[in-house]
C-alpha cells in the first residue's frame, strides 16, 4: 500500500512549534470534570496526542480524553524530554467513557481508523518511538478484545505489511501540560495547521477510505 509522501511545510512547522512541561503522575489521571463513578477507562497511543484526544472527545459516550505519556521508564517526564525519544514513553490519550453508551470494542474501531498500524517508526510526519502505536489495556477483558480486534485486522487482508501496534498492560500515565489538553479547541488554527501540514487525513484515507470528521477543530 502506497503512503502519501510527507514533507515539511510552513503549516506543519507552525503546528510543530510547541513546548510543554511535565505533570504529576497517577495510574489513572483525575478527569478535569466530574464523571460518574462507574465510568470506564481506556488508553491508546496513536501518534500525536492532539489528534488522538480530539478523535475520542468528539465521540458520543466519551466523557473526556486526556493527553499524556505512558509506557516508558522515566518518572514525571516533560514534553520536551518525551519528544527526544529517550524516555521510552509514547504520546497517548486516556479515555473516560460510559460503557452503557459505547463499548470498548467500538473505541477500538475508532482507534484503528486514526492510525497506520503497520508503521513501526511513528505516525505520519511524527517519527520516533514516542509516536508509536499501542493499546494499553486496564483489565483482562480489554486485553482479549484488543487482541481479537488486532487478529481480525490481520486476517482481513487489508494490509500488505505486518501490524506492529502493541497490546500492553496499562502502566503509570503522566498527563501532559495544560497547554496540550483540548488543543483542538484551545488553538483551532494551529491544530488545523498541524492536521493539514502533516497530511493527516490523506494518510488515513489511503489506508481506510473516507474518514469521518473526527479531527475537526470545531463542533
Domain 23-204 classification at class level: alpha beta
pTM for the full model? Answer: 0.83
Domain ranges, ordered by start, for the chain? 23-204
The verdict on whether 48 is a catalytic residue reads yes
Cα separation, 187 vs 184, in Å, equals 6
CB 62 within 8 A of CB 97: yes
| 131: nearest Cα among 46, 219, 41, 40 | 46
**Mean per-residue pLDDT, 20-26:** 42
Residue of 12, 23, 41, 48 marked catalytic: 48
d(CA 31, CA 94): 9
Note the pLDDT tens digit of each residue in 56-97: 999 999 999 999 999 999 999 999 999 999 999 999 999 999
Rounded mean pLDDT, 172-184: 94
Amino acid at each position: 500500500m502506497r503512503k502519501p509522501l510527507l514533507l515539511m511545510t510552513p503549516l506543519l512547522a507552525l503546528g510543530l512549534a510547541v513546548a510543554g512541561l511535565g505533570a504529576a503522575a497517577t495510574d489513572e489521571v483525575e478527569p478535569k470534570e466530574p464523571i460518574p463513578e462507574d465510568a470506564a477507562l481506556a488508553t491508546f497511543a496513536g501518534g500525536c496526542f492532539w489528534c488522538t484526544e480530539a478523535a475520542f472527545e468528539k465521540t458520543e459516550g466519551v466523557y473526556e480524553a486526556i493527553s499524556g505519556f505512558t509506557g516508558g521508564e522515566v518518572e514525571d517526564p516533560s514534553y520536551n524530554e518525551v519528544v527526544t525519544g529517550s524516555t521510552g514513553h509514547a504520546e497517548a490519550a486516556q479515555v473516560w467513557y460510559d460503557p452503557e453508551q459505547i463499548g470498548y470494542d467500538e473505541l477500538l474501531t475508532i482507534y484503528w481508523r486514526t492510525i497506520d498500524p503497520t508503521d513501526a517508526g511513528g505516525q505520519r510526519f511524527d517519527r520516533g518511538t514516542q509516536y508509536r502505536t499501542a493499546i494499553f489495556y486496564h483489565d483482562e477483558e480489554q486485553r482479549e478484545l484488543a487482541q481479537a480486534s488486532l487478529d481480525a485486522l490481520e486476517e482481513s487482508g487489508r494490509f500488505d505489511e505486518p501490524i506492529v501496534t502493541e497490546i500492553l498492560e496499562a502502566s503509570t500515565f503522566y498527563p501532559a501540560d495544560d497547554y496540550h489538553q483540548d488543543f483542538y479547541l484551545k488553538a483551532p488554527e494551529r491544530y488545523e495547521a498541524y492536521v493539514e501540514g502533516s497530511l493527516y487525513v490523506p494518510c488515513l484515507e489511503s489506508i481506510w477510505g473516507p474518514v469521518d470528521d473526527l479531527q475537526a477543530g470545531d463542533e
